[in-house]
């Protein structure tokens, strides 16, 4: 790792603000292109405080939108390139099982629409009825109307190993400098370059990449813009495996919200198989809804919502086999989601009213774990070339993605 002495002042081609998985992946790509890059992280590297927290993510190809299916497929060669840097498997390919009520259209999509998108993109999958899902994948008591699809390329991502691999490459690169415990307090646009202030020193760069995860607005506000997002303290539970050898795929169940004593609650859950890198002997199941969302990341407590956990445990007890029905451990992860309908991922250049916006790129919100190496590539393309061959037209800087922010004087 390049070491910066406190109060040092240095110029870089690019400063990346946010040293989680997206920031590290961008530094990897920029370093390969011999771009002198500084990565600033407000906490310590590998911290558990942002959206790179937790240990596993789902890699899945099914999406209701064809452009998303295409983008996940395009991430595969970049995952392979990253995998070549480490002997530790970054993915455990157990397949994706999407199942549930075929009439549900949720934030994650709809089963039938995903099947069409997969078909159009030539992605192999099999369709299943409720009986087949129960027989082949260990679920039980499913309504007869439930359908499903199994896509064999789905995987559990070892996010921790992914981050460690990137961090190690960047540490060894002579083009990448890493500095943690360095929250950015001001950004001044000096026309030809940006001046970035941290308690550990002031740095300048020709270009900025902003990858602050859920802390996006605290960085974007320094440049007088912000995005509209909501934040989830997403709760996971770990259930002990009691039936030796039982193996679940990564899965997601689509169900309509339920009316519980007058309050309508989410009813979608997702889960992982047992993985060697995270509580071996246990499987993780989580709710894909929150009962109390947060208006800022600072409101996060790390305490899982007991009602969300209760719903998850009830679903496991009712519908899964080979597991203890009561969770042994819990965890939370901070998720930020755009409040713009159907807009899970925001990516591109800063809005036009920000001076020198074409020298500032950003990526924030959404479920980006499966895209980590690809997002690094796209952000490095945009930063160095001003464009990318990947289709990011669905995520870019449209005026309604942003609102102006004026700092109090």
Catalytic center residues? 60, 108, 270, 288, 333, 367, 370
Question: Residues 355 to 394: which contact ligand BEZ by CB under 6 A?
Answer: 367
CB of 37 to ligand BEZ, least distance (A): 28
Two tokens, residue 121: 């993109």
Q: For the stretch 82-103, what's the b/e string if a residue is b when 16 or more beta carbons lie within 10 angstroms of its beta carbon?
A: bbeebeeebbbebbbbbbbbee
Length of the chain counted residue by residue: 409
How far apart CA 400 and CA 239 sit, in angstroms, is 42
Query: Applying CB under 6 A, does 311 fall inside the site for ligand BEZ?
Result: no
How far apart CA 95 and CA 62 sit, in angstroms, is 11
User: Judged by CB, which is closer to ligand BEZ: 58, or 338?
Assistant: 58
Q: Which of 108, 115, 274, 381 binds ligand BEZ (CB under 6 A)?
A: 108
Question: Residues 23 to 62: which contact ligand BEZ by CB under 6 A?
Answer: 58, 60
User: Judged by CB, which is closer to ligand BEZ: 367, or 405?
Assistant: 367
Torsion sign, CA atoms 366, 369, 371, 375? positive
Query: Applying CB under 6 A, does 232 fall inside the site for ligand BEZ?
Result: no
How far apart CA 68 and CA 120 sit, in angstroms, is 12
User: Judged by CB, which is closer to ligand BEZ: 26, or 96?
Assistant: 96
Query: Applying CB under 6 A, does 270 fall inside the site for ligand BEZ?
Result: yes
How far apart CA 210 and CA 178 sit, in angstroms, is 15
337 CB-near residues (< 8 Å, 6+ apart): 107, 229, 230, 231, 232, 344, 365, 366
Query: Applying CB under 6 A, does 153 fall inside the site for ligand BEZ?
Result: no
Q: Which of 299, 304, 298, 362 is nearest to 329 (CA)?
A: 304
Per DSSP bridges, beta strands 250-254 and 269-271 are antiparallel
Count of residues engaged in binding ligand BEZ, rule: CB under 6 A = 7
What counts of helices (H) and strands (E) characterise the chain? 8, 23
CB of 58 to ligand BEZ, least distance (A): 4
Query: Applying CB under 6 A, does 274 fall inside the site for ligand BEZ?
Result: no
Torsion sign, CA atoms 112, 114, 115, 120? positive
CB of 333 to ligand BEZ, least distance (A): 10
CB of 21 to ligand BEZ, least distance (A): 14
CB of 60 to ligand BEZ, least distance (A): 5
User: Judged by CB, which is closer to ligand BEZ: 220, or 272?
Assistant: 272
Helix (H) or strand (E) holding 282: strand 282-287
Query: Could you tell me if 96 and 251 are in contact, meaning their C-beta atoms sit under 8 angstroms apart?
Result: yes
User: Judged by CB, which is closer to ligand BEZ: 60, or 138?
Assistant: 60
User: Judged by CB, which is closer to ligand BEZ: 94, or 360?
Assistant: 94
Burial of 314 (0-12, 13-18, 19+ CB in 10 A): exposed
CB of 43 to ligand BEZ, least distance (A): 24
With H, G, I as helix, E, B as strand and everything else as coil, classify residue 70. Answer: helix
Angle at 295 between CA 290 and CA 296, to 5 degrees: 110
CB of 367 to ligand BEZ, least distance (A): 3
Query: Applying CB under 6 A, does 288 fall inside the site for ligand BEZ?
Result: yes
User: Judged by CB, which is closer to ligand BEZ: 43, or 367?
Assistant: 367
How far apart CA 124 and CA 118 sit, in angstroms, is 7
How far apart CA 182 and CA 336 sit, in angstroms, is 22
Question: Residues 55 to 74: which contact ligand BEZ by CB under 6 A?
Answer: 58, 60
User: Judged by CB, which is closer to ligand BEZ: 15, or 237?
Assistant: 237
User: Which position's Cβ is nearest ligand BEZ?
Assistant: 367
CB of 107 to ligand BEZ, least distance (A): 8
Q: Which of 79, 215, 252, 362 binds ligand BEZ (CB under 6 A)?
A: 252
Binding site for ligand BEZ (CB under 6 A): 58, 60, 108, 252, 270, 288, 367
């Amino acid at each position: 790792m390049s070491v910066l002495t406190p109060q040092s002042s240095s110029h870089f081609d690019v400063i990346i603000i946010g040293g989680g998985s997206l920031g590290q992946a961008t530094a990897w790509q920029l370093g390969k292109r011999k771009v002198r890059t500084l990565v600033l992280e407000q906490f310590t590297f590998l911290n558990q405080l942002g959206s790179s927290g937790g240990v596993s993510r789902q890699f899945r190809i099914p999406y209701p939108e064809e452009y998303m299916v295409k983008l996940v497929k395009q991430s595969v060669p970049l995952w392979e390139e990253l995998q070549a840097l480490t002997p530790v498997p970054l993915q455990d390919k157990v397949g994706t099982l999407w199942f549930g009520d075929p009439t549900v259209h949720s934030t994650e999509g709809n089963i039938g629409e995903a099947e069409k998108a997969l078909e159009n993109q030539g992605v192999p999958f099999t369709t299943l009825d409720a009986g087949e899902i129960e027989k082949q994948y260990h679920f039980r008591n499913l309504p007869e109307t439930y359908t499903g699809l199994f896509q064999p390329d789905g995987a559990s991502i070892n996010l921790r190993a992914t981050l460690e691999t990137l961090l190690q490459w960047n540490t060894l690169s002579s083009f990448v400098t890493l500095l943690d415990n360095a929250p950015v307090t001001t950004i001044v646009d000096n026309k030809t370059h940006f001046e970035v202030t941290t308690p550990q020193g002031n740095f300048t760069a020709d270009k900025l990449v902003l990858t602050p995860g859920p802390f996006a607005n605290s960085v974007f506000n320094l440049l007088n813009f912000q995005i509209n997002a909501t934040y989830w303290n997403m709760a996971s539970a770990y259930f002990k495996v009691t039936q030796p050898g039982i193996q679940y795929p990564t899965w997601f169940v689509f169900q309509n919200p339920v009316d519980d004593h007058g309050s309508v609650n989410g009813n979608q859950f997702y889960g992982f198989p047992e993985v060697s890198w995270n509580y071996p002997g246990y499987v993780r199941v989580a709710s894909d809804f929150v009962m109390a969302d947060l208006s800022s990341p600072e409101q996060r407590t790390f305490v899982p919502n007991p009602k969300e956990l209760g719903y998850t445990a009830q679903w496991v007890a009712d519908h899964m086999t080979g597991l203890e029905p009561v969770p042994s451990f819990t965890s939370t992860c901070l998720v930020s989601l755009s409040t713009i309908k159907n807009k899970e991922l925001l990516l591109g250049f800063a809005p036009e009213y920000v001076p020198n916006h074409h020298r500032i790129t950003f990526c924030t919100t959404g479920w980006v774990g499966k895209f980590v190496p690809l997002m690094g590539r796209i952000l490095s393309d945009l930063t160095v070339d001003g464009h990318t061959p990947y289709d990011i037209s669905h995520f870019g800087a449209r005026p309604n993605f942003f609102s102006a922010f004026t700092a109090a004087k």
